[in-house]
Structure formats: C-alpha cells, structure tokens
Amino acid sequence: MGGKKKPAIEPEEPSRAAGACVLVVLAGVVTAVVFAVSTDAGVIALWAVGLFALWRAARRMSDSSATPPPKEWRPSCKRCTGQELLSVTPSETQKGMMIYSYALTKRPGHTHLHIVEEVNET
C-alpha cells in the first residue's frame, strides 16, 4: 500500500577549493597570453599585479590590527545618575586613577566627584 518516500537528495554546493583552482588556471592562461603578445608587457603586468596585491595586503593588515575604541564607562551613584559629566581627568597622585566630575543641578556651582581605578573591559 503505502511505500516509503525516498528522502529528497540535496544538491551539493560547489567547493571553494574548486573555485580557487579555476581562478588560478584562468590567471595562468591570461599571464601566458600577455607574455605571448609581448614579454615587456608581461613583466610590467606581473609587477603591477604584485604591487596591487602588496598594497591591498598592507591596507587590510592596518585595518585589522587597529585597537578597538575604549568603551565609555561612568561611575554611578544616587547623586550623579542623570547628571551632566563635566570632566574626566587622570589623578596626578595615584597612577591609574581617574577623577569624574559631575555638575549637580540642585546645587549650582557645586560638583560631585568620583575617584576610581581605570576600567579596562574587554
């Protein structure tokens, strides 16, 4: 009566290695044609491709090795939540300490200070 249904066969995706091989063969054919037309043009073309690859690699490397921007961190307490941050200055007497100054809206001309160690979150 009811037979088993065959599972649908999914088509295989072409491998990336096969695509790379095709590109290498095409580049070899183009290089051979350029050298067959003119040896000087082939040498100039190879130099141009090499310089372009070097420029691209150097540009890519400088972007990837950049350090990420530091995350903005503020101390929080009941007094300074929602207040305007006036300044963040490093402490002159304690290395690695930061001084956060906040303006107090209820007390004009007064500031609220926090002295904390630098926060290095990764």
Cβ burial 8-41 (10 Å sphere, 16+ → b, else e): eeeeeeeeeeeeeeeeeeeeeeeeeebeeeeeee
- pTM flag (> 0.75): no
What local confidence, expressed as pLDDT, does residue 34 receive? 94
What local confidence, expressed as pLDDT, does residue 122 receive? 45
Low-confidence residues of the chain: pLDDT under 70: 1-7, 62-76, 79-80, 111, 114, 117-122
What local confidence, expressed as pLDDT, does residue 119 receive? 55
What local confidence, expressed as pLDDT, does residue 25 receive? 95
d(CA 68, CA 59) in angstroms, rounded, equals: 17
Residue at token pair 């530091």: 70
What local confidence, expressed as pLDDT, does residue 45 receive? 93
What local confidence, expressed as pLDDT, does residue 76 receive? 67
Measure the CA angle with vertex 74, ends 92 and 96; round to 5°: 30
d(CA 24, CA 35) in angstroms, rounded, equals: 16
Percent of the chain with pLDDT over 70: 68
